[in-house]
Amino acid sequence: MRAALARPQVRDRAGRRRYWTDTARDILLYVIILFFFLPVLWIILTSSRPNIEINARPPVWIPARLDFDSYKILLGMPVPEGAFGMGSQIPFERYAGNSAAIALTSTLCSLILGVLAGYVFARFRFRGKNGVFLSMMLMRAVPGVALSLPLFILFARLGLSDKLAGMIVAYTALNIPFTAWLMDGFFRAIPEELSEAAVIDGCSRWGALVRVDLPLALPGVAASGIFAFLTCWNEFALASVITRTPASRTFPPALYEFTGSFVTDWRGMTAMSVMMLIPSIIFVALVQRQLVQGLASGAMKG
């Protein structure tokens, strides 16, 4: 009788212990997230605070009032007389168009070529396959700073320097190895018997890829697309060397235009940084579900 009465009490204590453990874990996670979000929050506040508060000592954590003149200057909207901002001299729309065209085109090309390469590595056997695959991974390990000077010389001779086509070629080559590696793992996780059955039923190898393997690997395609897009959108080292004029310049090197000889427009710089964040957040939000599925699948395969 006593044992029967003790069991519910033990379960209650275990439940309360689990509840407080989960609560403490959640609080710790929220604190960590807030810690990593603080720089982004500071950038947002700096872009919308009065100029007098930006270089104040000690720092002003909460703005006395919100001032969106920096955004208006970037977008070409009228602002009050005397409002300081170097954004009026910066072709923001041109930079936005260049960044979008380069990032989207490079991402699409990287996905097409990377998916095909990953499928070949996963499904076909040929001499030197491991060597070719390892060489691609080693090329991806080379930092962009080390590639900037050789690419500048090569593109100058090919007539691709300071052109959108040159940036697209560079970023596509930069993203293909990672995409191929990621898609190779996803295609290996799909039973080969499925594509073989499709071939027996009359599909070609191309038809089996399009109708069977590719739909099952869509989470991997989404994850690869997100990483490729963010790499192109935020890359600075190559863009700062290959692009020299607004004809092909993207957002990251354009931030330096807010730095003058004697003054730096921190409010305008942070305003452009916030504008850079918006497309990235929208792109990730649109494919968030596929990204989570892709990362979860990759974790289970590991």
For 200-242, the pLDDT digits (tens) are 888 888 888 888 888 888 888 888 888 899 999 998 888 988 8
Residue 84 per-residue DSSP state: -
Structure tokens at 83: 């409002």
Q: How long is the chain?
A: 302
pLDDT of the residue at 114: 93
Structure tokens at 293: 């599925």
For 128-164, the pLDDT digits (tens) are 888 888 888 887 777 777 888 888 889 989 988 889 9
Mean pLDDT of all residues in 65-83:
76
User: pLDDT above 70 covers what percent of the chain?
Assistant: 85
Q: How many other CB atoms are found less than 10 A from the CB of residue 290?
A: 17
The pTM for the full model equals 0.81
pLDDT of the residue at 223: 85
Q: How many other CB atoms are found less than 10 A from the CB of residue 76?
A: 12
Which CATH number is associated with domain 91-301? 1.10.3720.10
Beta bridge partners of 259: 264
Burial of residue 134, with CB atoms counted within 10 A of its CB: 0-12 exposed, 13-18 middle, 19 or more buried: exposed
Residues of the chain with CATH 1.10.3720.10: 91-301
pLDDT of the residue at 86: 65
Residue 199 CA, distance from chain mean position:
37
Cα–Cα distances in Å, from 237 out to 32, 106, 145, 178, 234? 30, 17, 6, 18, 10
Question: SS3 for 259?
Answer: strand
Q: Flag whether pLDDT at 79 surpasses 70.
A: no
Mean pLDDT of all residues in 176-185:
90
Q: Flag whether pLDDT at 171 surpasses 90.
A: yes
Structure tokens at 107: 């991402």
* pLDDT band for position 5 (cuts 50, 70, 90): very low
